[in-house]
Structure 1
Amino acid sequence: MTYLNQFDASLWQTCDEYYQQLQPLALQLQDEHHLNVNLLLLAIWLDNHHYPLSIESWQRLDVEIDTWEQKMLQPYRKLRRLSKANLAADEYQQMLDVELMLERKAQALILHKLKQLADDGSQSNLETYLSLFELSVDTQPQLLAMTHQAA
């Protein structure tokens, strides 16, 4: 079964709440293991809503989003980080705002791709997504705890 139009942008509001609780860990996983924070949060959301995706679907999502981010988001993020010492606080905030806009564009792309995928997974999305980076939910108890929250 494909999801068709079962998902809308409101899922990112819940993912934002997850991010507030997981920000240091999510950024650490992004920086050290190159995980995509949006996909990580999506995996938790999907688990909490009982929509398992296959490893192939996660690989496809990861590759397509990574390709877009390598062209758009990652160069901008690198520029922002390099510029921090040379910018006034308000200028730096403007750069952060642009980066957030690019993150929202990535979320829209993820949502578009998600609507094309079937719910054909056999294990948790978090477990599957982390496995792409040779990580395990057993080593990330804070993430695992997020999948037990009420949907």
Structure 2
Amino acid sequence: MTNKHVEFTLTLEHLWQFSLQFYGVREVKEACLSLQNNYHGNVNLLLLLKWLDEQQVIFLEQDWPILQGCIMRSETLLSSYRELRRHLKLQVNDALYREALQFELQLEKQQQSDLVDCINSLTLVNNDGEPLTLRYCRQLGGEHLQHAFSMPFPDNHPL
């Protein structure tokens, strides 16, 4: 890996749109849900890592804990809400359940905002090594899921 610093400013809207498109691929969605439900991974973090992979940039190794730490508060809230929503599914009508899903999406977007703020504060360099998504899947013990995240994203325009 070269140590050439890269200047990127990621916006919440760009990451959100990227995430909606990438997550919209059936195989990606299934792998994301497996990463979340079976390996306790964070889908928003994975989507940010995929965006970074597409830009061929990486943050410094010592910044992994910073990035993961910036979502701890929102992850606790999201996990609790997700569990509540799952319990409500059988007890509320479809309209109320859809509202619960919409609120969860708002929480997801807030978490992405936290990630965007965090990544924009870190030093980014060119990534000549392994994709970040592979490293994250490996950390969680779900390396076999990487195939779904290695598909190239069609809108590969850097900001």
TM range (shorter): 0.7 to 0.9
Q: Mind listing any 5+ residue stretches in structure 2 that lack a counterpart?
A: none
CA gap of 1:123–1:54, structure 2 versus 1, over 3 A, is farther
Structure 2 partner of 1:8: 11
Equivalent residue of 2:121, what SS? coil
Structure 2 partner of 1:131: 138
Retained in 1: the 8 A contact 2:137–2:145? no
Residue 80, structure 1, aligned to residue 79, structure 2: no
1:90 to 79, 86, 95: 95
Higher-strand-fraction structure: 2
Residue 20, structure 1, aligned to residue 24, structure 2: yes
Give the percent of matched residue pairs that are identical in Structure 1 and Structure 2. 27
Query: Which runs of structure 1 show a deviation greater than 3 angstroms over 4 or more consecutive aligned residues?
Result: 120-123
Q: TM-score, structure 2 length as denominator?
A: 0.81
CA gap of 1:89–1:150, structure 2 versus 1, over 3 A, is closer
After TM superposition, give the deviation of residue 35 of structure 1 in Å.
0.9
Retained in 2: the 8 A contact 1:55–1:128? no
After TM superposition, give the deviation of residue 150 of structure 1 in Å.
5.6
Structure 2 partner of 1:50: 56
Q: Which amino acid aligns with 1:27?
A: L
Which range moves more in the overlay, 28-37 or 119-128? 119-128
Q: Which amino acid aligns with 1:62?
A: Q
Retained in 2: the 8 A contact 1:53–1:125? no
- RMSD after superposition: 2.1
Q: Mind listing any 5+ residue stretches in structure 1 that lack a counterpart?
A: none
2:115 to 110, 117, 120: 110
Q: How many residues align?
A: 147
Which range moves more in the overlay, 125-134 or 14-23? 125-134
After TM superposition, give the deviation of residue 62 of structure 1 in Å.
1.7
Matched residues in 1 for 2:146 and 2:6: separation? 30
Structure 1 partner of 2:39: 33
Retained in 2: the 8 A contact 1:7–1:115? yes
